[in-house]
Chains A and B, each alone.
Chain A
């Protein structure tokens, strides 16, 4: 055997191999590729076998994301109560570090240390009876907007008819174009008037930690189909697939929201699949 020649060939081969491996292992991570059309088709077929139609487009790109660090909503709690109650000096019903309750003319505002605010207005005479989803949304938008309670990072998430004369309107929080599903303002409208508002909002501090590849939407969709019959009803459809961040309101200094795929079903339910682990984090009808 001609060892010098073989060695030269091996040297060149391993050098090329090491350059390639080095690039894969240590090189830029922005390019995570795309799932193939065959994989998308496989996810659609799996959904069809569960009796679910996928009417939303399935993102093909495989992306990477880091955590989003958030803090409890840094808001003047008294000012929020004043705006909701429409009065300068609401009566303090209860006050502690964990919870404060204000009232005025039968209406109540409860503010928790985790940043959650709840508003229960006193019920007056019935309002408009000819509401539809659009006019219900306008009613809520007008109320929140006129009182300066619709943050600039709020986006309309969905409007749903919940009963004979009742609607639910939900705004969600966005951060730099990414949905922050844990943050929302939900208003219940009944008989032409708002009868409850729940605000869960965060103060995002920025992205943190390493960027890591997320499970592809196709894999997350297949996982979401196992959420249970209460969500994945035969004959239903997946109407939206959105990548965003999820978090619960916590009584803490700061914490990490994590990336999730959210699948919106035609029956009004959502399934949230953890973008890192691929496990279902939450499912069911929205709160």
Chain B
């Protein structure tokens, strides 16, 4: 009896296994699904390279300025403890956006905003790009009555009657909003004490040589000491990233270039794997450019997360919108090391996308090891702009770059490399025309990063 029950159970289980096996084999034959041993190991991102930093963090401002009255201006670079204490994972901005009453005064005199910065106390979010306020609010789960304004600055003035100013982009004009009476609590943060290590900032003069500087552009006031940053090649295997694009690399045409890079193609899509681990992917599919920068960043970040991941400290380096049908919008990511952006000549991670999908992708990620050598004084912001002004013929030709709208210190990554590379600090300067310049922070030697 006991044996009979065991035999029944064994037969039931054998039948179940056979049915499951038949389904599996049918699936393989009909759908052409490769067997596990035929494919590559599933992509397993390293712990030092987390896959999803979250859109809220990617869109966070590059620096928060604190104006405490007269010439007491302080800058909190993203990624530092002081920044995190004020930013609170975006909670501060959410509260500020929610506090907007919707009553706005268009274009207050520039002197009023300048006075607000001088009088203080006020707190200014300086974003890396111009974002539509409503989309920003949506990403951060904030409720906001204003909808159609693209802004790159938001200033919270904690005066007797609290006010919020925003700077529109790309016109660089200011709007002023009244604040709901019941929502003034967040303004108490503006008066928060700062640690001793927070760097002093100063407003840049409106003209330096032939360069025009947008009013309200701040940079570190004191001469800083910086050492080069050592970075090494991303150890993530290129095959692992490539297998997120192609089911089976073994069925693709390959071209091994003289520099050792390998190009894979299925006839419609192509990918290039550099010996140093960088990966480039192309799938030409002309469409309309993505007009909304936040939507473009969201799509680009999701794509990057699916194909190798984004660094935990990823930030937006640049968004270059397509201007006509057939062009793509290019989103360029960098990442922060101790609050300092690490950017690439072509981007650390770059995604070009349009209405049809992603046309191009570049991943040239490096693992920071730490600073190397002795710290040296870098050029001050003013001196760096003087140097750029002296090279303006070479940099801009006859075309005006427009006003300087932001500048910050960064580390610049070059071409893919297998070697440990010491990255020099650079001044990254953005202009209202869209031009971007990097200047060696030790020597002032400047180069253009992108076309206008």
Which of A210, A251, A274, A279 is B258 in contact with, Cβ under 8 Å?
A251
Residues of A within 8 A of B250 (CB): 209-210
Give the docked Cα–Cα distance between A1 and B325 (Å). Answer: 68
Q: Which of A2-23 contact B (CB under 8 A)?
A: 4, 7-8, 10-11, 14-15, 17-18, 21-22
Please, which residues of chain B bring their CB within 8 A of the CB of A67? 253-254
Chain A interface residues toward B at CB < 8 A? 4, 7-8, 10-11, 14-15, 17-18, 21-22, 24-26, 67, 69, 208-210, 212, 250-256, 258, 274, 276-277, 279
Taking Cβ atoms with an 8 Å cutoff, the residues of B that contact A are 8, 11-12, 14-15, 18-19, 21-22, 25-26, 28-29, 35, 248, 250-258, 260, 263, 266-267
Q: Is the CB of A252 within 8 A of B258?
A: yes
Docked-complex contact B258 and A253, CB < 8 angstroms: yes
Ordered by A's residue number, 13 sampled pairs between the chains whose C-beta atoms are within 8 Å are A14-B15, A14-B22, A22-B25, A24-B25, A25-B29, A67-B254, A69-B254, A208-B254, A209-B250, A250-B255, A276-B251, A276-B267, A277-B266
- 15 new A-B pairs (CB below 8 Å) besides A4-B8, A17-B18, A24-B29? A4-B11, A7-B11, A7-B15, A14-B18, A17-B22, A21-B25, A22-B25, A25-B25, A69-B254, A212-B251, A252-B255, A252-B256, A252-B258, A253-B257, A256-B253
Which residues does chain A contribute within 8 Å of B35, judged by CB atoms? Answer: 26
Q: Which residue of A lies closest to B26 (CB)?
A: A21
Q: Whole-angstrom distance between the alpha carbons of A10 and B253 in the complex?
A: 45
**Bound complex: CA A24 to CA B29 (Å):** 8
Contact A21 B255 (CB under 8 A): no
Closest residue to B27 on the A side, CB-wise? A25
A14 to B255, CA, bound (A): 45
Contact A18/B15 with A255-B253, A256-B255 known, Cβ cut-off 8 Å? no
Distance (Å) between the CB of B36 and the closest chain A CB?
13
- Which A residues touch B248, using CB under 8 A? 210
Closest to B253 in A: A256
Contacts of A14 in B (CB 8 A): 15, 18-19, 21-22
Given contacts A7-B15, A11-B14, A11-B15, contact A256 B254 (CB under 8 A): yes
* CB-defined contacts of B8 to chain A, threshold 8 Å: 4
Chain B positions within 8 Å of A274 at CB level: 267
A17–B15 Cα distance when bound, in Å, is 12
Q: Are A255 and B254 in contact (CB under 8 A)?
A: yes
B251 touches A210 (CB 8 A): yes
| Across-interface contacts of B15 in A (CB, < 8 A) | 7, 10-11, 14
In whole angstroms, what is the CA distance A67 to B267 when docked?
13
A170 to chain B, nearest CB (A): 25
| Contact A255 B256, beta carbon cutoff 8 Å | yes
- Shortest B203–chain A CB gap in Å is 53
Please give me the residue from chain A that is nearest to B257 by CB atom.
A252
Measured CB to CB, the closest approach of chain B to A9, in angstroms, equals: 10
A69 to B15, CA, bound (A): 46
Task: Kindly list chain B residues whose C-beta atoms are within 8 Å of the C-beta of A254.
Answer: 255-256
CB of B34 to closest CB in A, whole Å: 10
Bound-state CA distance A274–B266 (Å) is 11
A242 to nearest B CB, angstroms?
Answer: 20
Q: Which residues of B contact A252 (CB under 8 A)?
A: 255-258
A18 touches B256 (CB 8 A): no
The distance in angstroms between the C-alpha atoms of A212 and B250, with both chains bound, is 11
* Minimal Cβ-Cβ distance residue in B for A3: B8
In the complex, the answer to whether A21 meets B253 with C-beta atoms within 8 Å is no
Q: Which residue of B lies closest to A14 (CB)?
A: B18
Chain B residues within 8 Å of A210, by CB:
248, 250-251
Contact at B251–A21, with CB atoms within 8 Å? no
- In Å, the complex CA distance between A258 and B251 comes to 11
How many whole Å from A123's CB to the nearest CB in chain B? Answer: 37
Which residue of A is nearest B38, CB measured? A210
- A204 and B257 CA atoms in complex are apart in Å by 16
Nearest A residue to B12, CB-CB: A7
Of B11, B22, B267, which is within 8 A of A279 by CB?
Answer: B267
Contacts of A26 in B (CB 8 A): 35
Shortest CB–CB separation between residue B251 and chain A, in angstroms? 6
When C-beta atoms are compared, the residue in chain B nearest to A12 turns out to be B18
Contacts of B26 in A (CB 8 A): 21
CB-based contact B22/A21 at 8 Å = yes
Whether A11 contacts B258 by the Cβ 8 Å rule is: no
Report the bound CA distance from A179 to B277 in whole Å: 36
Question: Bound complex: CA of A274 vs CA of B253, how far in Å?
Answer: 12
User: How far apart are A266's CB and chain B's nearest CB, in angstroms?
Assistant: 29
Query: Chain B nearest CB: distance from A204 CB in Å?
Result: 14
The 10 closest A-B pairs by CB, nearest first: A21-B25, A14-B18, A255-B255, A253-B256, A256-B253, A254-B256, A252-B257, A25-B28, A25-B25, A252-B255
